[in-house]
Every structure is written in structure tokens, then in C-alpha cells.
Structure 1
């Protein structure tokens, strides 16, 4: 403003360029005209004691936080006092420096397994890339992605509103709800098949039976569906055969609560029937994580005999499977509604799945496709 006298009357524009209030610029200009001296912002002058928090302290604190992001303020102060003799700082001063000087804030953490980006796992991802780099596999063109996810009626957002000074209390039907497992298959353009596996009824879970003769629990026989008919059954797999008693009078093992190889094989049989009806899916690759239940040798042979390929992803690599993002979005939509009973859970899941646009599926797949480059460069993700 002082260097352009012909523009002196336009203090507002110069104030915006300098990042100061227009009234401040006008006052400074008036002071300059009266005294001929350049005014300075008084707050720049520190009349108090010199700050004892130096760049050495910043580097030390930065290293502490990188090693332990959840460290408490008191522990940081203790570490500083041990490292720098005679150093003293209050909690409020340290928090001020963290927020304003070092730009470090407190936020909700994302927890990851320690081995997710270990050197061994990065090497495993690299070997996966080298194994498939010369094939015709393309995530956006000829791949079907499979994974399981757990749901229950207590799905809620991690935030809530309440009056200032009062706790945000959210009432839920049960403190511990029964989990339901969903197995799904998607590709870059559509949801191919989703099935719900419910746990056995409570009376069956709690009853301890002794066997004089072997007993079996029935398996529901699912019906074949056309490709465009997306259904969550009630449920497609509810019970599996129990092992026969070999000792006489011994308790029969209770059926596993999670997804078993038997559940997965039944799901895959129905999925393959659906894929066979669509000519565009012929020769596709079925991509899934390296979970034990996915690695049934007879199932792999059956998939390959039907003309499809199988790709197992490296451990701790959710970014490579687009259905992980799909399930996250489904759960996010479920959290917006109140699930009152187990009975309406499956219908709500179906609504949430069907509400996801096809362009989102393509975005998920493109993201995972980009992450494959990180496998080659051994870049953590």
C-alpha cells in the first residue's frame, strides 16, 4: 500500500492481500499519514518471557508421537524433562504448541495390524504382482470379488449429540447382540450375489446333547436364481452336518458360530451357477483373501473346472479387495437406521446393498487397481 501511492484509497483490497482486517489497514494508513513512520502490528512483539520450546524440543516430541501416537500429554512432559535438564512446560502450553506450532491434533484413530506393512508382507505383495503381471487379469474387466462381513442390530455411529456438559447416551436393545455373517460377490459393474448366514436358534446353541446315535441338522436347499435377481435368503445356509459320534455317550460338538468351509462351498456353488448364466462373466477370475475357508482344494478344482480362475490376495491387504469398501459403505448406511430386531436385519441389509450405485462399485475397483502399483514399488498402504 505504501509502495503504490496512487492506490492508497483502496485499503480494503490491500488488507485482503496482506491477510489483515480492513479497519486495521485503514488505521495503519492514517497513522502513517500523521507520523510518517511505518506502523507495526503490536502483537508481533513478545513482551513476556522468551519461549523455552525450541526446535530441538519439537523434533524430540515429533519422534515420540511417531513412535506412540496415543501417548498422553503428561508422559510427553516427563520425557522432555528427562531428556532436557531444567526444562519445564505446562500441559496447556504443550497442547498449544502441538496444535498451533507443530500442527498436531487429536483425532479418531484407525487401527492397523502391526504386520500389515512389514517388510515380509511388502515382499509378499511384490511376489503377487510378479506372479500375475503377465496374465490377462484386470480388476475392472474380468474379476469377481468375494468376502464376508459381520452385522448385528447394534450397529451405530461412533458419535451422538447431547446438551453441553451432559453425556451422550444411546439406548440399544441389547448390550451384546448376535452377529450375522454376510457373504457377498461383486464386480466392477454389479452386485452378483449376497447371502446371509444366520446363527442357529438360541435354544439349539444352548442345548447340550449327548449322542447314542448320530444326529444331523439339515441344510436348506437354495434355489437357483437368474443373474439379475438379487436376494438375501432367510437364510441360504442355516445349519451344517454335525460330526458323527465316535465314542458313544460323548457330547456332540456344537456347530461353529462363524462362516465355515461348508458355508463357503455352498455359497460358491450358487455363485458359480449364477455366473454361468452370464456370458460376460465367462473366464473371470474370482479374487478373495487368503482366509483358510477359501482354500478348499476341491472347491478350487471345481472353480477351475467351470472355466474360472482363482486369485488369493496377500494377508492384511484390504485395499486390494474392492468389496471391503463396499461392506464399509453398506454398514455406514445401516447405521443411519434403527435396527430393532434381528428379524428386520436381513431386509435392511438388502436395502442398503441395493441402494449402492453401480458407479460406486467401479470407483472401488479402480481404487484397488491403482493399489496394485504399490505392490510392485513395495509402498505401504
Structure 2
């Protein structure tokens, strides 16, 4: 049966794609809907928007003719009639909610997600029990436990980063003795003694420390022409140097430099003549004690009012020679 222009085609009233406003809204509102950002689904095109407006218009104004509605939305009469028939057919069928291809928002079709929630929980428990596992080891155990998946270590690493915000970093050892009960009690008692003495670290203390490095130490990066290596000349084996320093809040009080003697490695044959072999010798407790006396002499000479020397727990600071001084 043919449909004339004057006839009214019944339209099944059903909300279409959750459009809240009718098709007769202002042009600014239409542009806002088309320019929505950060949408997971692809935006509908101009032709799809015309079909949407046609359906909304026919649903809102039940007595409007097809020709008039098609003219208002910018569609040909034949196209408008075909789309209305498709819409009525789909809404009458069991597959409600499936729209014609020209007005359907196409879903994103990507690769199927391999790692599900059960795999995520497995990886998480695996890393909690052993933090040093590599990505390859995690992948091997995952594939061995779940036979139905095949995944690369790179994909597992991406999943761990995005899902857990985990990265593979350098390990920082946390020694048991550092957090033992005995050590904590010592710290507590020491801090209490500082508080009872009203120790002022800014005005009453001088801080002593040492730093060791190789004399051939240099920066890791340098300038060179494009396509050429950046080469610098260094000695094969440079001497190790230790710097002892004493500083306060105002300035450096004194510095001491010692060059460590380097000899053949232990286990090598010693020479047969009477010349003694010089052993490798670093900074000792005696060296540190001499430096402390130098610091005290400088403080007395300048007339500084410092009362305390603050040291760290280096081994040379805990030698019997230093303790008995």
C-alpha cells in the first residue's frame, strides 16, 4: 500500500537514544551535542543526526506529515519514509534497541581483553609474596596456572602498570637490625637525652662527615659532533680520595684530604727482594681522630661557641681509639 503526502504514518512512541530535548531545539544545543568531548563511542555524523531529528520530530508532533518533517530536518521524502519504516520494524521486533545502521553508533571493536579480574588477583598475590619477580617470571607462572591464555611479558608489564600503578625499580635493602626493638629503644633514649639537654643543632653543633671518590670520576654525559662518540682521556686506575669535612650552619670550618694508596690485589705473589709491599690503606680511626683535633683547634683559634660534634655511625667513628678519646 502506497503512502501519500497527506497521510500520517503512525510512529511508535519510544525514547530514542535518550534524547531529552525535542528536535526543534535551538541550533546551539544541537552543536553542543555533536561536539561532546571524551566520549567512549564515536560521535554520530550529520546524516545520522538528521535521522535522529526526524524520529524525534515525528514522535513529538504526531500529526505532522512525512514531507514536512523531512523538509525540516533536511532529508529527502523517500529517505525519511524508509528510515521511519526501519524504525517501526525494529521497535516491533524482539531486538528492541537495535537501530538502523545509518543511525546506530558503532561500537569500538578492538582486541579482546586477555587478562580478567581473576588474572589480576593472581598477579597481585604473586607480587605481594615475592617483590623481586621479573615480568618474565610473572608471565611464566601466569601462563602455567591459566592454560587458556597466551600473553607476552610486555602486555603483562603494561597491565601491571595500568592496573596496579607498579613499576620495576631498584631494590632498597631494609635491614632487620635497623628496625629491631633494641635499635628503636636506643634511638628513643638518645633523642630524649637531646631533649633534656635542650640541644640546639643550629647554634651549638658542628657536623663531621667523610666522602670517598675516585680522582678519575667525571660526568656521564658530554658534547661531541653528531654521529661521533664523546671520548675523554682518563687513567686506567686512578687513586681513591677521601675528604673529611666539618661544617656548621654558617660555613665550612675545615677540610682534610687523604689519597688512598692502591696496590696489587690480595692474593698476588709478593716480590722476593727485601722491599716491603705497601698495603692498601684507607681512612682509619687514627686519621679521623687527628682530624677531630684539627677541628677543635680551629674552633678555639677563631673563638667559635660550638659545644657538640655530631657524627654518623661510620665504622671509623666507633673505633676504640675514638671512643676512648
TM-score band by shorter chain is: 0.5 to 0.7
Q: Does 1:119 align with 2:180?
A: yes
Alignment of 1:138-153 (within 5 A): 138-153=200-215
Q: In structure 2, the residue corresponding to 1:88 is in which secondary structure?
A: coil
| Rounded Cα–Cα distance in structure 1 between residues aligned with 2:228 and 2:298 | 50
Distance 1:54 1:186, change over 3 A: farther
Counterpart pick for 2:240 among 179, 188, 196: 179
Larger Cα-atom Rg = 2
Distance in 1, matches of 2:190 and 2:119, equals: 43
Q: State the Cα distance separating 1:101 from its structure 2 match.
A: 2.9
Shift of 1:127: 4.1
Q: Which one of the candidate residues 132, 139, 160 is aligned to 1:77?
A: 139
Deviations 1:308-361 (A, max 9, x none): xxxxxxxxxxxxxxxxxxxxxxxxxxxxxxxxxxxxxxxxxxxxxxxxxxxxxx
- The alignment of Structure 1 onto Structure 2 pairs a total of residues equal to 250
Partner of 2:67: none
The alpha-carbon distance between structure 1 residues 160 and 58, as it changes in their structure 2 partners (threshold 3 A), is farther
Aligned to 1:195: 256
Residue 171 (structure 2) pairs with residue 155 (structure 1): no
The 8 Å contact of residues 150 and 180 in structure 1, kept in 2 or not, is answered as yes
* 1:151–1:179 Cα contact (<8 Å) kept: yes
Listed as ranges, the gaps of 5+ residues in structure 2 are 1-18, 54-102
How many angstroms does 1:260 deviate by? 0.6
Matching of residues 304-315 of structure 1 within 5 Å: none
8 Å CA contact 1:146–1:185 kept in 2: the answer is: yes
Which structure has more relative contact order (CA 8 Å, sep 6+)? It is: 1
Q: Aligned match of 2:162 in 100, 105, 112?
A: 100
Please point out which of 34, 39, 62 is paired with 2:50: 34
**Residue 178 of structure 1, CA deviation:** 2.2
Is 1:267 the counterpart of 2:283 in the alignment?
no
1:45 deviates by 3.8
2:190 is the alignment partner of 1:128:
yes
Cα distance change, pair 85–301 in 1 and its aligned pair in 2 (3 A): same
TM-score, normalization by structure 2: 0.57
Change (3 A) 1:85 1:152: same
Indicate if the aligned counterparts of 1:209 and 1:252 stay in contact, CA closer than 8 A.
no
- 1:196 positional shift: 0.6
* Residue 111 of structure 1, CA deviation: 4.0
Are the structure 2 counterparts of residues 201 and 98 from structure 1 closer, same or farther at C-alpha, using a change threshold of 3 Å? closer
Bigger CA drift: 257-266 or 110-119? 110-119
Confirm or deny: 8 A CA contact 1:149 1:181 kept in the other structure: yes
Deviation string 1:266-302 (CA, Å, 9 cap, x unpaired) is: 111111111224545332x211122332235564565
State the TM-score, normalized to the length of structure 1: 0.50
Deviation of 1:262 (Å): 1.6
Query: Aligned equivalents of 1:81 and 1:123: distance in 2?
Result: 48
RMSD across aligned C-alpha pairs, in angstroms? 4.8
Displacement of 1:162: 9.7
Q: Is the 1:160–1:168 contact (alpha carbons within 8 Å) kept by the matching residues of 2?
A: no
From 150, 164, 168, give the equivalent of 1:88: 150
Structure 2 Cα separation of the partners of residues 31 and 141 of structure 1: 79
Residues 257 and 100 (structure 1), Cα distance of their counterparts in 2 relative to 1, 3 Å cut: same
1:228-250 CA deviation, whole Å, 9 max, x = no partner?
xxxxxxxxxxxxxxxxxxxxxxx
| Aligned 8 A contact 2:206 2:309 in 1 | yes
Give 1:122 shift: 4.4
Change beyond 3 A, Cα 1:92–1:272: same
Structure 1 position 75, deviation (Å): 0.8
Match of 2:282 among 235, 258, 272: 258
Aligned match of 2:312: 289
**Counterparts of 1:93 and 1:262, CA distance in 2:** 57
Unaligned runs of 5+ in 1: 212-250, 303-381
Residues 185, 41 of structure 1: alpha-carbon distance in 2 compared, 3 angstrom cutoff: farther
Tell me, what secondary structure is at the counterpart of 1:281?
A: coil
Runs of 4+ in 1 over 6 A off after TM superposition: 2-7, 159-164, 166-169, 206-211
